[in-house]
């Protein structure tokens, strides 16, 4: 067991070189992960990246072809879900339609043959936490989407598992409710002090909820780290593009010179910029990609590197304005203040602060 955490905390879940095939398709490729006890870990990635499969393997709903998954030091590869001390919340809620909310939440406890008092106590406790005490006698079809999702979470809570698994639990909810439930999930995590693993394709959910984000890309772990680590120091172009909204701008470029710990690149032939990042394997003349987030692009301000461009689309959001620019076939999105006078057709000067720039080499790996 690797001991890389600051405190002497035992990793609750160890995933060790796990592989999974669906027929001939290799969906999980040698994935290794340590998930700390009581952490909130979000598995994020585009659809088809294997994040749900990963979760289902932890839950025991999917066989593992090779490698091991252990929970609390115990290898659980061959254990059925109920012996893994986990609970799972599904995207479609997966409530039992013929049972009342109470029975839905008590189902697992009844199967464990708990006493009636204990069942009552635990269900009522969960209902109190989730504020669904008034609906206990209703059937799922009499509830709204948000209430159903609460019941589904309640069903997980009552069993007091060591690990909660969430499979895109908020995807079926409307935008407003999603934000509300997101906050409540964060509160719930604080309250329950349990390990939570959460799968989503929505990077906003990942950023807001996670202690640790694991970005998965076609079956491999692209990067693991805290939300801000991923935001500030993406390991590769995929993570850089995936985290943040709107997406990071990528501009094709070329290394013009290298110095000790900085790399100078060409900006569309209009200017040069020295980025304080290095890669040992790169050399002068190599093609690289310069990445910069829209919120870091300076509009009509002097900066380390600048260029001028025409505005094609203006999106006013109130809190900010997004400008869609294009220069010689290279699109660029820039964010400026909410009450901007810039109109479509205007020519603006955009500046690139060098310490906000990222560089990626031809194999999409980031310069450090």
Partner 1 sequence: MKKISLPSIFSQLLLLFFVLIWIIPTFGLFISSLRDKDLLAISGWWTSLTTTKVNEIYRMAGMENQIKEGDFFIIKGKLFDSNSGKKIQSFGITSKRINEFAVDDIAILKDDSFVTVNEDGEYILKSEKEFSKKKGKRLFITALSPPAFTFDNYREVLFKEGIGRAFINTMAVALPSTLIPLIICSFFAYALTWMKFFGRDTLLAIIIASLVVPLQMSLIPILTIYNDFGALFGVAAKSYPGVWMAHTGFGLASTTFLLRNFLKSLPNEMMEAAKVDGATHYDIFLRIILPLSVPAFASIFILQFLWCWNDLLVGLVFLDQVPSEIILTAKLKELLGSRGENWEILTTGAFVSMTVPLFIFFALQRYFIRGLVAGSVKG
* Residue 59 found at the interface with partner 1 (CB under 8 A): yes
* Residue 143 found at the interface with partner 1 (CB under 8 A): no
| Binding window for partner 1 (CB under 8 A); candidates: 14-22, 66-74, 81-89, 221-229 | 81-89
* Residue 116 found at the interface with partner 1 (CB under 8 A): no
Angle made by CA atoms 44, 48, 54, in degrees to the nearest 5? 60
Selected from 3, 9, 112, 118, the binder of partner 1 by CB under 8 A is: 112
In the complex, minimum distance from the CB of residue 88 to partner 1, in angstroms, rounded to a whole number: 5
* Residue 81 found at the interface with partner 1 (CB under 8 A): yes
DSSP 56: H
3-state secondary structure of 203: helix
Whole-angstrom Cα distance, residue 308 to residue 248?
19
* Residue 96 found at the interface with partner 1 (CB under 8 A): yes
Whole-angstrom Cα distance, residue 234 to residue 239?
6
Binding-site size for partner 1 (CB under 8 A) equals: 24
Q: Per the structure block, which two tokens stand in for 117?
A: 């008092």
* Residue 98 found at the interface with partner 1 (CB under 8 A): yes
Selected from 1, 25, 111, 344, the binder of partner 1 by CB under 8 A is: 111
Selected from 7, 23, 24, 80, the binder of partner 1 by CB under 8 A is: 80
* Residue 159 found at the interface with partner 1 (CB under 8 A): yes
Whole-angstrom Cα distance, residue 86 to residue 35?
14
- Within 176-215, the residues that bind partner 1 by CB under 8 A are none
CB crowding 168-206: b at 16 or more within 10 Å, else e: bbbebbeeebbeebbebbeebbeebebbbbbbbbbbebb
| Binding window for partner 1 (CB under 8 A); candidates: 77-85, 178-186, 246-254, 328-336 | 77-85
* Residue 92 found at the interface with partner 1 (CB under 8 A): yes
Strand partners, 19: 66
Q: Give every strand in the sheet of 74-75, ordered side by side.
A: 25-36, 11-22, 66-71, 74-75
* Residue 88 found at the interface with partner 1 (CB under 8 A): yes
Q: Which residues bind partner 1 (CB under 8 A)?
A: 59-61, 80-82, 86-88, 90-92, 94-98, 107-108, 111-112, 152, 155, 159
């Amino acid at each position: 067991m690797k001991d890389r955490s600051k405190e002497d905390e035992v990793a609750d879940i160890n995933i060790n070189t796990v592989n999974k095939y669906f027929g001939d398709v290799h969906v999980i490729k040698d994935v290794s992960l340590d998930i700390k006890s009581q952490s909130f870990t979000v598995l994020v990635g585009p659809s088809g990246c294997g994040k749900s499969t990963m979760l289902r393997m932890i839950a025991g709903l999917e066989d593992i072809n090779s490698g091991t998954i252990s929970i609390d030091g115990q290898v659980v590869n061959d254990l059925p879900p109920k012996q893994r001390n986990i609970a799972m919340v599904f995207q479609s809620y997966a409530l039992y339609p013929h049972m009342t909310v109470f029975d839905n939440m008590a189902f697992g406890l009844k199967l464990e043959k708990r006493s009636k008092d204990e069942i009552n106590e635990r269900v009522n406790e969960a209902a109190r936490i989730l504020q669904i005490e008034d609906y206990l006698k209703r059937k799922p079809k009499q509830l709204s989407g948000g209430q159903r999702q609460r019941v589904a979470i309640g069903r997980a809570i009552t069993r007091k598992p060591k690990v909660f698994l969430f499979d895109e639990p908020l995807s079926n909810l409307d935008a407003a409710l999603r934000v509300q439930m997101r906050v409540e999930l964060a509160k719930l995590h604080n309250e329950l002090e349990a390990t939570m693993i959460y799968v989503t394709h929505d990077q906003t959910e990942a950023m807001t909820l996670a202690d640790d984000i694991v970005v998965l890309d076609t079956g491999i772990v692209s990067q693991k780290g805290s939300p801000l680590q991923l935001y500030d120091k993406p390991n590769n172009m995929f993570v850089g593009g995936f985290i943040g909204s709107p997406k990071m701008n990528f501009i094709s470029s070329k290394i013009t010179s290298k110095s000790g710990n900085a790399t100078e690149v060409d900006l569309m032939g209009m200017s040069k910029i020295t980025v304080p990042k290095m890669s040992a394997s790169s050399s002068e003349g190599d093609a690289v990609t310069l990445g910069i987030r829209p919120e870091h692009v300076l509009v009509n301000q002097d900066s380390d590197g600048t260029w001028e461009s025409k505005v094609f689309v203006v999106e006013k959001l109130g809190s900010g304005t997004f400008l869609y620019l294009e220069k010689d076939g290279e699109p660029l999105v820039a964010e400026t203040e909410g009450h901007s006078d810039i109109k479509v057709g205007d020519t603006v000067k955009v500046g690139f602060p060098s310490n906000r720039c990222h560089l990626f080499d031809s194999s999409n790996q980031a310069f450090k």
